[in-house]
Structure 1
Amino acid sequence: MRFLDLTSQDYLRAPHEQLLAAMEEGPWAQTKLPFIGRLKLLLGHAECQALLKDQDKFAVDARNAGHKSAFGLRFLPRSLKIMASNLLTMDDPDHRRLRGLVDEPFHRVAIDVQRPVIRETCEEIVETMLRTGARDLVTGLCRELPQRVIFDLLGFSRDARTRLQNVMAGIAGSTSAFAMIRAVMKLKPAQAAMREEFERVRAEPRPGLVSELVHAGEDGEKMSDDELLAMVFVLFAAGQETTSHFISSAVWTLLTQPGKADEYRAGDEDARGVAVDELMRYCTPVQMTKPRHPRAPLMLHGQALQRGERVLALLASANVDPRVFDNPAELDLKRRPNRHLGWGGGPHICLGLHLARAEAQAAFDCLFDRFPGLAIDGDPNALKWIPRAGIRGLKSLPLRFQ
């Protein structure tokens, strides 16, 4: 079973050939994660899709497979325990109940209405970068755009935005698992700000998803403050990070592959939508899923798995499976059909996939339409990728806005 170092710069810069080589050896590989150690990765498209759909044999919540916490870790501070019980770590029926309360604003029809506003927000951010002389796309646009969009969607007050930005900046800027843990340990100020916001909207309802969640209920039962905290944190943090890494890795890809930026510019609205899907397949900013845990011992594709053992679907390898994609290591902006798993799959498929797609296309349209000579400032291969297993995004992306 091949070992994959998902944090090495060589892998992050060009992962496709390594993934194809691993799949030639079989459906399994191994990697190593901080605090957890070695664990198994499932590689193929069909294999990953089946794993993500099979709720009878596999649990997302580790407590449903013999562990004492949702993450399967023994020691968690209370602030993190609250956040641990969220959409990403729940099984049905709790997952279905909570997702049903937030699903509607993320439907494609609702997001399509927001596209002009998202594009306008993107233009404002780029104008600020030009005015201030900022050149790093990661800090200037990739983090700022999804943050502003989700703040508007949630309906946060200006005071809550300011307080949350200070805390979340540390999480978004974390470049390793250890830095992420340190940032997460500082969640208390963010949680306090959110609790205050909940009290405000209880007293005075206003437009926005936070107000809707505070007053939402099923059969008359309201969401608890802890459920609200976990929900808002996931919507804010997970959505922001995914989109940020997608934009940075996709812009780097378009600018480093000859002719691809011009091909994107030449496309109409439909062609650009197809290109965004292919960029998600090719770049796969979320490289792997949260762990799945066998509810009982079983055999899976020749591997004996114990109850509660962590198994991850490696979406990045599923997206280059030659059984599904022709010439999978090539970027084909006209690829159709494109059954990639960049958004995950099964009941936990990305809630904000339509929002992330709209934000990414707004960024690409703004950058490549406005700047025909857009280029990376310096050697593209000298840029550093974030060495955190499970994501693929750049630490910085300096550009020349020509």
Structure 2
Amino acid sequence: MSLPLNSQAYLRAPQDFLVPAQGESLFITQKLPFLGRCTLVLGHAECQEFLKDSDRFAVDARNAGADSPFGMKFLPKSLKRLSNNLLSLDDPDHRRLRRLVDQPFRRVSIDELKPRIREACDGLVHDMVKSGEPDLVEGLCRQLPLIVIYDLLGFSGALRERLDSLLQGLTATANIFNVLRGLTLLGPVQRMLEDEFERVRREPGPGLVTELVHAEADGERMSDDELVAMVFVLFIAGHETTKHLISTGLYTLLTTPGAADAYRAMDEDGRGIAVDELVRYCAPVQMTKPRYAREDTEFHGLHLKQGDRLVGMLAAANLDPRVFEDPVSLDLTRRPNRHMGWGGGPHICLGLHLARAEAQAAFDCLLDGWPGLTLGVDPDRLKWIPRSGLRGLKQLPVIFG
């Protein structure tokens, strides 16, 4: 059995495929683009277990007998340079780098950003209404995370403009041709970042880039390669996944009877709970990066050889009836909610508090400010991005009312 992960039918309603699959087995063997044969783990407890078990399972394939970080025989030079990043390293390197960047992403730091996030959101929606732009994906969902991450990193206005046009190609990876096109852009992006590092060495300013350039980890400053990889990962991870959370969350609130009005009636704490349920239910991040068996081992009856890949199917884990009551239903008041939308283990999402804040700002702005907000097209006509691992809409036209 395999899952049609890139099909419109699956992306429109993943639970229609994941629940039957989970009923048959907690494991599926499936080929994934670039990775090849992987075992998808569908159970909540099983996902939690192997994501936490860094003694048996590595993020870096080199720690499981491979020659390269991703277990691929060939990596372009520009991609190889980005391989030693926060998402692709095991401890102690992962812990060292994460400690450097952890403070700005803690809840208390994000709480201080919330007024600026809401101001940016209000401005984007105002511009959409003024210009007649109906597509929330382009006008809000893509733009808001870009503004926030640029501001957090402290990029200059000129660099923002240059990066924005280049990096659009890196997230348009629905097929192999777009992937190859995106890889050709990595070199220019890395050179731009190097120029920015050199600038802030001479002229320190506000923002995370300046902090990273001048920070020390275990007595040593980060190399340019580490800085490029860190900033690149923060930018991409902080942009695309949040974009999809906002678009799928709004889609769900507007298409589930009574959901939008229920959200409007909630207080601040209740809305935070609702956002977490939307993360669980919408599953904008469908799966984890692979973990590689460090040695021959057994995992819940699976016989794994060194280098074999396990992938946590987070979208399925969030539908596990052993953990969630009536998991296929949206319950904006669900508590407790032990969802795995942010992943798990040492590599749990660094930016989860930031993503929550951005999503809630978008939902508050649109649903409070526009009580008559509705979809501008039949939901069945909407197209989903056919990309394994993520779930997001190509467009989300609305009528502001």
TM-score w.r.t. the length of structure 2 is: 0.98
What amino acid sits opposite 2:208 in the alignment?
A: L
Q: Is the 8 A contact 1:344 1:350 kept in 2?
A: yes
| 1:103 paired to 2:99 | no
Structure 1 CA distance for aligned equivalents of residues 337 and 371 of structure 2: 28
1:100-139 mapped onto 2 (5 Å cutoff):
100-139=99-138
Correspondence for 1:297: 296
Structure 2 CA distance for aligned equivalents of residues 35 and 208 of structure 1: 35
What amino acid sits opposite 1:194 in the alignment?
A: L
Correspondence for 1:318: 317
Q: Secondary structure at the match of 1:32?
A: strand
Correspondence for 2:20: 21
Deviations along 1:284-316, whole A, 9 cap, x unmatched?
111000000000011111211111111100000
158-167 or 61-70: bigger deviation: 158-167
Correspondence for 2:260: 261
In structure 2, stretches of 5+ residues that fail to align are none
1:315-354 mapped onto 2 (5 Å cutoff):
315-354=314-353
Q: Note closer, same or farther for the CA distance 1:176–1:375 as it changes in structure 2 (3 Å cut).
A: farther
Instruction: Say how many residue pairs are matched.
Output: 401
Correspondence for 2:388: 389
Correspondence for 2:373: 374
Deviations along 1:79-108, whole A, 9 cap, x unmatched?
111111111110000000000000000000
Correspondence for 2:214: 215
Q: CA deviation at 1:178?
A: 4.2
Q: Secondary structure at the match of 2:284?
A: coil
Correspondence for 1:183: 182
370-379 or 46-55: bigger deviation: 370-379
Q: Secondary structure at the match of 1:88?
A: coil
What amino acid sits opposite 2:179 in the alignment?
A: M
Q: Is the 8 A contact 1:6 1:31 kept in 2?
A: no
Q: CA deviation at 1:173?
A: 3.5
Deviations along 1:207-266, whole A, 9 cap, x unmatched?
100000000112431100000000000100011011000111111111111111111111
Q: CA deviation at 1:177?
A: 5.1
Q: Note closer, same or farther for the CA distance 1:181–1:301 as it changes in structure 2 (3 Å cut).
A: farther
Deviations along 1:118-166, whole A, 9 cap, x unmatched?
0000001111111211111111111100000000000011121111111
Q: Note closer, same or farther for the CA distance 1:144–1:379 as it changes in structure 2 (3 Å cut).
A: same
Structure 2 CA distance for aligned equivalents of residues 353 and 293 of structure 1: 25
Deviations along 1:30-71, whole A, 9 cap, x unmatched?
333223333210010000000100000000000000111111
- RMSD between superposed Cα atoms in Å: 1.1
Q: Is the 8 A contact 1:175 1:395 kept in 2?
A: no
Correspondence for 1:140: 139
In structure 1, stretches of 5+ residues that fail to align are none
Q: Secondary structure at the match of 1:275?
A: helix
Correspondence for 2:281: 282
1:15-54 mapped onto 2 (5 Å cutoff):
15-54=14-53
Deviations along 1:178-228, whole A, 9 cap, x unmatched?
423421331111111100000000011111000000001124311000000
Q: Is the 8 A contact 1:246 1:285 kept in 2?
A: yes
Q: Secondary structure at the match of 1:237?
A: helix
Q: Is the 8 A contact 1:285 1:391 kept in 2?
A: yes
Correspondence for 1:204: 203
Q: Is the 8 A contact 2:97 2:217 kept in 1?
A: no
Correspondence for 1:173: 172
